[in-house]
Amino acid sequence: MIHLRGMTWNHPRGVLPLQAASEAFKKRYPEMEITWDARSLHDFEAYPLERLAETYDLIMIDHPHIGAAVGHDVLVPLNDWIPEEYLEDQRRNSVGPSHDSYSWNGKQWALAADAAAQVSAYRADLLERHGCRVPVTWEEVRRLAKELPKEHKLGLPLLPVHAFASFVTLSAQLSGGGFWKEGAELHPETGAAAIAQLQELVPYLHERSFSMDPIGMSDRMAATDEIAYVPLIYGYSNYARHGFASRLLRYADIPSDSGQPGGSMIGGVGIAVSSRCKHILPAIEYAQLAAGGEFQRTTYVNSGGQPGHRSAWTDAGANELTHQFFRDTLRTLDLGYVRPRFDGYIAFQEQAGMRIREALLNGCSDPAQLVVDLNRLLFKLSSTRSDAIK
């Protein structure tokens, strides 16, 4: 019996479809056992892959980890193991730039098993009760914030990484996607405008926003009537399914003043194989099963997963199951923004998010200076990583 261990994040979306894939894989190969452990969303976003690779054969990863992972030689380059026709299918059927977000230095380091970006979430029953429609522009968001009664508020997840995500999404949207590239600084004027736009929303936000991540906010939104609308939140199709929570959430494209919902900071999860894995071939075959189109649009989505294969996002059954979650947010993902992935990015994202959250919580009198400070932090962390490699 060969036993492979995998690590994912602790949410039904992150666990159940992978367990279903393990069961399907075992039917093909009875001598194989693949089990999954799970860590918190914060650990998923911040925990070093090099440490996970020492213990686990399969790792669900966030694409900004790629630069550090490749630098520390902790992942298997999939091109060396997977047929080109399979990778080409993944490329053609990518949801937005999800597939390419796991490419680095000419190699593919993970398969986009799960696709996500910041989208909008809302309680259709609460908006309808007050005669409000889902905002399409940021002016409509501000108007909704003022029109909603005090017991039904706007939400915005503002724990550090997610404060940073909203800052980047708005900055990318305001700049048409050219806000920040590998090796460059954050654009000061654009970044300052994004901070100012976030500050306008703060007085109308649910008071727990500063202590919530997307899972916590989605749980609160589905358990109470306190939050009617969230303009920027990583979408979870689970909450758009009957029976998952006590109240149903619906999802839409992010607001935009350009007419196109562009700039959303791409998230999602890729399935990667540890370079320390002693049974690489079966691990690769499992990854291909889990990320393949047929499995993704059937068992994967039916098990609570949020597929990375485009055929699942356009599938009528998947959309009926999720009250059109995939159809109603696909445009946002297609126009999404891929973060830089340099070695040192994860530390920058966490520390920059802490500063942005603190500024929004306490009031930021000089958004432009905040972006200058963020660029100093970026230079410091980038230089530190470069010196360490040398």
What kind of fold does domain 118-265+342-390 have according to CATH?
D-Maltodextrin-Binding Protein; domain 2 (3.40.190)
The pLDDT of residue 382: 79
The pLDDT of residue 383: 61
Rounded CA gap, 241 and 346, in Å?
32
Segment 137-150, tens digit of pLDDT: 999 999 999 999 99
The pLDDT of residue 180: 84
> Residue 169 is encoded by which pair of tokens?
């999404």
Token pair 């259709």 is at which residue? 124
Helix axes 160-175, 345-362, angle to 10 degrees: 90
Segment 57-81, tens digit of pLDDT: 999 999 998 988 998 999 999 999 9
Cβ 50 vs Cβ 69: under 8 Å: yes
CA angle 382, 386, 387 (to 5 degrees): 120
Q: Which helix (H) or strand (E) holds 230?
A: strand 227-234
Q: So where are the chain's domains? A: 2-116+267-323, 118-265+342-390
Token pair 């609308």 is at which residue? 229
> Residue 208 is encoded by which pair of tokens?
């727990």
Cβ 32 vs Cβ 25: under 8 Å: yes
Q: Give Cα separations from 171 to 180, 181, 190, 194 (angstroms).
A: 9, 12, 6, 5
Residue ranges in the chain modelled with pLDDT below 50: 385-390
The pLDDT of residue 357: 98
**Short-list 256, 234, 13, CA closest to 118:** 234
Burial of 5 (0-12, 13-18, 19+ CB in 10 A): middle
Q: What SS3 class is residue 382?
A: helix
Rounded CA gap, 386 and 390, in Å?
6
**Same fold for the domain at 2-116+267-323 and the one at 118-265+342-390?**
yes
Cβ 114 vs Cβ 307: under 8 Å: yes
Q: Please, which residues bridge with residue 59 across strands? A: 7, 272
As its CATH architecture, domain 2-116+267-323 has 3-Layer(aba) Sandwich (3.40)
Rounded CA gap, 312 and 299, in Å?
10
